[in-house]
Amino acid sequence: MLLPSIWKQTACKVSKGTIVDATLINAPTATKNKSKTRDLDRHQTKKGKQWYFGMKAHIGVDSKTKLIHSVVATPAHVHDSQVLGDLLHGEETRLWGDSAYAGQQSVLKDNDPKVKDYTQVKGSRHRKLTEQDKAKNRHKSKVRAKVEHVFHIM
């Protein structure tokens, strides 16, 4: 496969760390389009107390340069963790993500057994986060914030 010249120039700049995240792409509801038909690639999902209809963009971003190295578009109802394997470039040694990507060690081991998982630690009603967990999550958020800059540009 021939790669565009711009990709050849930037491919060497991708570091060993990847930040993954997803965002909703809102679209008109099923019957409010020109053809008055339902688009089968779009679905509804609930975020907080708000319902959205559309698709979701999942991206993998280089942790140092903020270069997007992978993008996957799915219907909005697909959970973030379902496409983690598609967002990895295969050379990672570190992975950052929000708590939606927690518990994906089997996907990481399939990709590379040396990958360190820096995803946010989840708390629950039965297991509250300790102060140490909260401090680690704050530190991880400083790196993860770089992916939000990419969404702002998109």
Domains observed in the chain:
15-30+39-153 (3.30.420)
Q: How would you label 21-37 residue by residue, b for 16+ Cβ within 10 Å and e otherwise?
A: bbbeeebeeeeeeeeee
| pLDDT-derived band at 53, boundaries 50, 70, 90 | confident
pLDDT band at 1 (very low <50, low <70, confident <90, very high): very low
Mean pLDDT of the region 112-116: 84
- What DSSP string describes 122-141? P--SSSPPPHHHHHHHHHHH
* 75 band by pLDDT with thresholds 50, 70 and 90: very high
Of residues 101 and 38, more confidently modeled: 101
What pTM value is reported for the model? 0.77
pLDDT for the residue numbered 74: 93
Which of 7-16, 88-97, 98-107 has the weakest average pLDDT? 7-16
Q: Is the pLDDT of residue 31 over 60?
A: yes
Dist. CA 120–CA 102, nearest whole Å: 7
Pairing of strands 17-26, 116-119: unpaired
* Contact indicator for 145, 154 with CB cutoff of 8 Å: no
Distance CA(95)–CA(1), nearest Å, equals 27
